[in-house]
């Protein structure tokens, strides 16, 4: 059944209005026999996370859930729709790999588990801004923003497909390991989604602390000087400013662990030692020393700054601020220590995986979140934007196919077929090296050589980090033609802060026509935050689509000052170009979210209890539309573009005007937010 609250609402509606009414169960967007990344990740969200975020059943008619407005639908129905939003946004991201689609996955997670996006948007936006603007100064650097959402998807797919990992996670966190017990299986999956999402999506948010460090060293590397003694480097001081715990936090951790901590470093050292200290023969004092030295003594770590230290520390502050100190639990700390371990701490200070003192890989039942993060972080090396000078010229996989069948992972990494000449040249060098007796250093063609050479360096390194007995891994390199159309790349560009602002202005365009000068931005943002996740995403996805609309008008938006004519108002002719395109987006969005076509909500007699609940017939009919998930302007099935455009052309003029006239109001509203403007190309 998957979306049980939607089904319950449908049964209620059928009792009131007869058969054939909604809401409908959303379509499953994966093949039941497909074992690929998208199918497995979506199957996890669609079927295994049933009941995500549910509260106690509401009494009939006492609806507290938000749709377009508060108190229009049951609370659990809103939770089902939130999960459906996450499912659809993750599907879009896996199809495109675009940063704008990664953004909406982050947005869904923060709305669902942190309260609302606005509290944490700076944390999400900062990493992307730093990477896109500052990473070109580095020698080696690749995207970590879309990368983190791919890591998130990989983890969902592994949990869904691998029985051994599911059981390890369930045992570790006290769930019954029997998958046939549906209620506990769903509860474990919902728990996994929350804390795996926290671990995976935010494991690299500390990069803004590492990037300045690398920028300084890149100055020397450009001149051919290797990092080490004699090179200038950055170290951080006064780290207590971000690690010191307040009195409320100390008390909370005393309740959880029976002891007090002064800093997050002490908390993390305890958390890591508690799980791994005995198995790897180290003390809490040793671990605290290693953690403490990360930001202040990078020379102790081969002159590398560990972003994982800052990711865990920064995320702790965000959790404390967003959900409240009193709600922090052991699983939050496990997510933070998993992040702390993933980059270099486990590899070089615990397992010593590159040296003579190598101990052994991490087992999944020792720290399930850390195990999965390190595995997925290594696997996710495809489709990553290269920013660094050397990274832009290296050969990296552009795509990947995964098969998670039979509790294993079989992966094919695809390299650009246009780079075949480089691959052929490497193969020739490698054969010569073999024929020469392999006495010198083997030739490399990163990352192709790590997958193609007989040593299988890519897989062997992963096996040194995590124990893969229960998740057999095979990797095959291949080539194919690169298809960049899925990225939907247009001339328009902006940062995610302005994408959010754009959506806020779009939402307000109907309400403030002629009154744009008088409304404050904080009022607009408050109104936006009061919408359900579904309606917020509708505005954000419309904002994302504007790049395509403006491309059709030979216009673009940017947050940079440019010498082009600014668009003050759209002409009627311009509006008539993109209005059908916006109608198509709206139609497809509603189909994917389970809406159906119809006007029953305008025609049927309103039950007395609904009139009593909502006070007047107009308000009651609006609520009924949301409860039926039916709209007179929607379409059913899988219409083609020409059918949607014809549907739009047949709409009454007043309905078509609703689609385009308010956009000129939006142009005025968006000026209230700094930076973003629309320009003509000619």
Give tens-digit pLDDT for 591-644. 999 999 999 999 999 988 889 989 999 999 999 999 999 999 999 999 999 999
Q: State mean pLDDT over 368-373.
A: 98
Q: 317 or 498: whose pLDDT is higher? A: 317
Of the listed ranges 5-9, 427-431, 596-600, the one predicted with least confidence: 427-431
Q: 153 or 579: whose pLDDT is higher? A: 153
Contact 359, 350 (CB under 8 A): yes
Q: How far is CA 6 from the centre of its chain?
A: 25
| 541-570 pLDDT tens trace | 988 887 888 888 888 887 777 888 888 888
Of the listed ranges 217-221, 379-383, 433-437, the one predicted with least confidence: 217-221
Q: How far is CA 389 from CA 21, 134, 159, 191, 270, in A?
A: 58, 12, 36, 41, 39
pLDDT higher than threshold 70 for residue 253 = yes
pLDDT of amino acid 481 = 87
Of the listed ranges 143-157, 183-197, 330-344, 668-682, the one predicted with least confidence: 668-682
pLDDT of amino acid 389 = 45
Q: How far apart are CA 43 and CA 482, in angstroms?
A: 27
Residue positions counted in the chain: 682
Q: How far apart are CA 396 and CA 382, in angstroms?
A: 7
pLDDT of amino acid 215 = 78
586-621 burial by CB neighbour count: b if 16+ within 10 A, else e? bbebbbbbbbbbbebbeeeebeeebeeebeeeebbb
Q: How far apart are CA 145 and CA 102, in angstroms?
A: 7
pLDDT of amino acid 373 = 98
pTM attached to this predicted model: 0.92
Q: Which among 50-64, 313-327, 437-451 has the top mean pLDDT?
A: 313-327
Of the listed ranges 167-171, 238-242, 305-309, 483-487, the one predicted with least confidence: 483-487
Residue 400, CB half-sphere, CA atoms under 13 Å: how many?
Answer: 27
pLDDT of amino acid 664 = 74
Q: 225 or 532: whose pLDDT is higher? A: 532
pLDDT of amino acid 376 = 98
Q: State mean pLDDT over 168-197.
A: 96
pLDDT higher than threshold 70 for residue 117 = no
Radius of gyration of the chain (CA): 27
**CB contact set of 109 (below 8 Å; sequence gap of 6+):** 86, 197, 201
- High-pLDDT (> 70) share of the chain, %: 89
- For the chain, the average pLDDT equals 87
Q: What is the pLDDT confidence band of residue 226, given thresholds at 50, 70 and 90?
A: confident
Q: How far is CA 477 from CA 332, 396, 397, 407, 554, in A?
A: 37, 11, 8, 21, 40
């Amino acid at each position: 059944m998957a979306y049980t609250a939607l089904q319950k609402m449908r049964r209620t509606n059928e009792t009131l209005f007869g058969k054939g009414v909604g809401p409908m169960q959303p379509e499953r967007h994966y093949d039941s026999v497909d074992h690929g990344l998208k199918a497995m990740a979506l199957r996890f969200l669609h079927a295994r996370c049933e009941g995500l975020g549910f509260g106690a059943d509401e009494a009939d008619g006492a609806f507290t859930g938000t749709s377009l407005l508060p108190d229009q639908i049951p609370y659990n129905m809103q939770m089902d729709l939130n999960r459906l939003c996450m499912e659809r946004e993750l599907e879009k991201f896996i199809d495109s790999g675009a940063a704008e689609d990664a953004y909406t996955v982050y947005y869904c997670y923060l709305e669902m588990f942190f309260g609302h996006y606005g509290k944490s948007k700076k944390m999400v936006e900062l990493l992307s801004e730093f990477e896109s603007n500052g990473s070109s100064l580095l020698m080696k650097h690749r995207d970590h923003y879309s990368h983190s959402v791919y890591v998130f998807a990989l983890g969902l797919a592994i949990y869904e497909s691998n029985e051994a990992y599911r059981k390890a996670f369930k045992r570790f966190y006290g769930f019954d390991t029997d998958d046939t017990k549906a209620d506990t299986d769903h509860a474990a999956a919902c728990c996994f989604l929350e804390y795996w999402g926290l671990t995976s999506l935010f494991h690299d948010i500390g990069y803004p602390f590492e990037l300045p460090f690398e920028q300084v060293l890149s100055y020397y590397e450009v001149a051919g000087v290797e990092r080490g003694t004699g090179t200038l480097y950055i170290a951080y001081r006064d780290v207590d400013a971000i690690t010191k715990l307040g009195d409320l936090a100390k008390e909370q951790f005393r309740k959880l662990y029976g002891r007090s901590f002064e800093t997050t470093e002490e908390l993390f050292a305890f958390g890591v030692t508690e799980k791994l200290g005995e198995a790897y023969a180290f003390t809490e004092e040793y671990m605290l020393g290693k953690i403490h030295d990360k930001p202040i003594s990078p020379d102790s770590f081969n002159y590398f700054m560990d972003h994982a230290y800052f990711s865990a520390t920064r995320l702790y502050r965000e959790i404390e601020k967003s959900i409240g100190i009193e709600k922090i639990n052991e699983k939050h700390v496990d997510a933070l220590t998993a992040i702390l371990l993933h980059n270099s701490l486990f590899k070089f200070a615990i397992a010593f995986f590159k040296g003579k003192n190598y101990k052994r890989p991490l087992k999944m039942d020792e720290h399930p979140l850390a195990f999965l993060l390190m595995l997925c972080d290594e696997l996710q090396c495809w489709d990553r934007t290269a920013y660094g000078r050397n990274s832009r010229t290296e050969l990296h996989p552009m795509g990947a196919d995964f098969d998670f069948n039979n509790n294993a992972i079989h992966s094919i990494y695809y390299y650009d077929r246009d780079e075949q000449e480089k691959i052929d040249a490497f193969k020739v060098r490698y054969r010569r090296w073999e024929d020469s007796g392999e006495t010198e250093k083997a030739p490399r063609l990163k990352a192709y050589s790590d997958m193609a050479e007989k040593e299988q360096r890519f897989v062997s390194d992963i096996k040194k980090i995590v124990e893969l007995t229960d998740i057999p891994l095979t990797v095959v390199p291949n080539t194919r033609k690169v298809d960049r159309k899925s990225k939907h790349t247009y001339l328009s560009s902006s940062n995610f802060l302005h994408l959010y602002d754009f959506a806020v202005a779009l939402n307000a365009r109907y309400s403030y026509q002629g009154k744009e000068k008088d409304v404050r931005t904080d009022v607009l943002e408050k109104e936006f935050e009061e919408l359900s996740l579904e309606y917020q995403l509708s505005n954000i996805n419309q904002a994302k689509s504007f790049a395509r609309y403006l491309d059709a008008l030979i216009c673009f938006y940017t947050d940079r000052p440019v010498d082009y004519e600014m668009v003050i108002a759209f002409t009627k002719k311009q509006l008539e170009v993109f209005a059908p395109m916006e109608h198509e987006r709206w139609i497809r969005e509603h189909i994917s979210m389970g809406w159906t076509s119809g006007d029953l909500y305008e025609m049927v007699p309103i039950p007395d209890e609904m009139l009593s609940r909502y006070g007047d017939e107009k308000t009651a009919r609006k609520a009924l539309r949301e409860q039926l998930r039916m709209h007179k302007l929607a379409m059913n099935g899988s219409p083609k573009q020409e059918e949607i455009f014809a549907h739009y052309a047949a709409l009454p003029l007043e309905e078509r005007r609703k689609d385009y006239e308010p956009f000129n109001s939006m142009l005025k509203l968006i000026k209230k937010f700094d930076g973003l403007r629309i320009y003509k190309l000619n």
